[in-house]
Amino acid sequence: MTHPPRHLADLALAERRAAVTELGEKPFRADQLSRHYFARYTDVPQDMTDLPTGLRATLAAELLPRLLTPEKELTCDNGATRKMLWRLYDGALVESVLMKYPDRVTMCVSSQAGCGMGCPFCATGQAGLTRNLSTAEIVAQVVAGERTLTAESAPAAAPTATSRISNIVFMGMGEPLANYKNLIGAVHRLSDPVPSGLGISQRSLTVSTVGLVPAIHRLTEEKLTVRLAVSLHAPDDEARDELVPVNRRWKVAEVLDAAWDYAAATGRRVSIEYALIRDINDQPWRADLLGSLLKGHLAHVNLIPLNPTPGSKWTASRPGVQEEFVRRIASHGVPVTVRDTRGREIDGACGQLAATVTGRSVGPARKAGSHLLPLA
Ligand code: SAH
Ligand code: SF4
């Protein structure tokens, strides 16, 4: 198997300096290149006017290869939500979403092309895993988002709360903790200050996991301050075994124990993700069980109305049922919100957007299985 081309975002700053030295150049050239990429979001040699003309193309070719080619772009919510489909060097497709709010900008990124976890309600899960993304392929999605924001703002305008990406969620395609090493690399590149990285606070990054217990423990040991989201979807093993097949390996109790360890180590509230599926996991007793499991822990429940995949037998809960579910969780003193469904009206929504391009689509390309949705 070949690898994506080496990119400076795969390397720590010291490694970039070493790479530049190997090319016969002074180490500070690595810092200059890094500033172009992480502060100006450019990889175009002509933009690099602080580098000798003869050197620009060589260094860019060595350390700033283009990793993402735009394949398709869709906007909705009057341009506030923008979904991007990217083609990688080997033809694999991944999606990311940029969501603008009045006071912040959230970017949802993919960590893998496809996903091997097989959750039956998820469009990405149904297509299986193509491959892990490299650290630089993850980071490049965010840099592309920053570039879009910069292009949209007036050149001389003073920076505002929405002129840069403020939050990043690893809720696009893939299971981030199944691509552990490259995920950790990406967290560092996104959060390290310029010129090492993009300088986005770790506290503003959310890693969402299906519940890979050993990897959650490992993440706890990293001593990072990223937020952890756990996709629980059921408080009992019977339902979770079906909705989240990895539950057959790591049960609800083990997943929650790992989450509480993470919360204790970081002091950060864990977000419990729960896609509400009509008559499958939305019964009042399940809300009560969930509330009692989470009560007294550093947790917050984020309910997601199911976005059905084409041909799926499952659909979202009835509104009254959803409200009752919220009410019951809250009655245990557990904070709960319902995720907004931004971006859903886009035809060929996420997961499906990739499927339509590869011809894997099995149904009409609309409202399909998107999980690239913002946190509430
Ligand atoms: N693999 C990771 C992160 C990507 S999925 C995880 O599972 O946590 C991001 C979120 O979208 C998860 O909470 C996932 O369960 C949810 N999701 C996936 N498909 C969905 C759908 N069709 N409707 C609503 N939420 C969905
Ligand atoms: Fe993978 Fe997450 Fe989809 Fe499950 S919900 S198949 S873990 S992307």
Among the residue ranges 34-38, 67-71, 156-160, the one predicted with the least confidence is 156-160
- The 8-class DSSP code of residue 102 comes to S
Q: Choosing from 25, 95, 137, 273, which is the catalytic residue?
A: 95
Name the residue with tokens 């919360």. 263
DSSP strand pairing (105-108 vs 129-132): unpaired
Closest CA to 170 of 180, 156, 182, 183: 183
> 158 in helix, strand or coil?
coil
Interval 227-275: pLDDT, tens: 999 999 999 999 999 999 999 999 999 999 999 999 999 999 999 999 9
In this predicted structure, what is the pLDDT of residue 374? Answer: 36
In this predicted structure, what is the pLDDT of residue 63? Answer: 98
Q: Residue 312: CB within 6 Å of ligand 1?
A: no
Check residues 173 and 162 and name the one with the higher pLDDT.
Answer: 173
Residue nearest to atom 5 of ligand 1 (CA): 171
Separation of CA 351 and ligand 2 centre (Å)? 11
Amino acid at site 283: Q
Separation of CA 210 and ligand 1 centre (Å)? 8
Interval 49-82: pLDDT, tens: 999 999 999 999 999 999 999 999 999 888 899 9
Q: How far is CA 149 from CA 100, 112, 144, 145, in A?
A: 10, 24, 9, 6
255: which residues sit within 8 A by CB, 6+ positions away? 211, 213, 216, 230, 232, 247
Residue nearest to atom 26 of ligand 1 (CA): 371
Q: Residue 122: CB within 6 Å of ligand 2?
A: yes
In this predicted structure, what is the pLDDT of residue 181? Answer: 98
Q: How far is CA 180 from CA 5, 170, 212, 222, 332, in A?
A: 19, 12, 11, 11, 34
Segment 14-34 shows an average pLDDT of: 98
Give catalytic status of residue 95 as yes or no.
Answer: yes
Q: Residue 123: CB within 6 Å of ligand 2?
A: no
Query: Which ligand 1 atom is at minimum distance from the Cα of 172?
Result: 4
Cβ-contact 133, 96 below 8 angstroms: no
In this predicted structure, what is the pLDDT of residue 77? Answer: 86
Interval 277-334: pLDDT, tens: 999 999 999 999 999 999 999 999 999 999 998 888 999 999 899 999 999 999 999 9
In this predicted structure, what is the pLDDT of residue 373? Answer: 41
- In degrees, rounded to 5, the angle at the alpha carbon of residue 62 between the alpha carbons of residues 56 and 68 is 100
Would the pLDDT of 363 be above 80?
A: no
Interval 74-124: pLDDT, tens: 998 888 999 999 999 999 999 999 999 999 999 999 999 999 999 999 999
In this predicted structure, what is the pLDDT of residue 237? Answer: 98
How far is it, in rounded angstroms, from Cα 262 to Cα 219? 8
159-191: string of b/e by CB count within 10 Å (b at 16+)? eeebbbbbbbbbbbbbbbbbbbebbbbbbbbbb
Segment 22-41 shows an average pLDDT of: 98
Query: Which ligand 2 atom is at minimum distance from the Cα of 173?
Result: 8
Q: Choosing from 108, 119, 122, 350, which is the catalytic residue?
A: 350
pLDDT category, 164, cuts 50, 70, 90?
Answer: very high
DSSP strand pairing (105-108 vs 93-100): antiparallel
Q: Which of 230, 273, 307 to mutate to test the pocket of ligand 1 (most atoms within 8 A of CB)?
A: 273
Separation of CA 122 and ligand 2 centre (Å)? 6
Query: Which ligand 1 atom is at minimum distance from the Cα of 117?
Result: 1
Would the pLDDT of 376 be above 90?
A: no
Segment 141-153 shows an average pLDDT of: 95
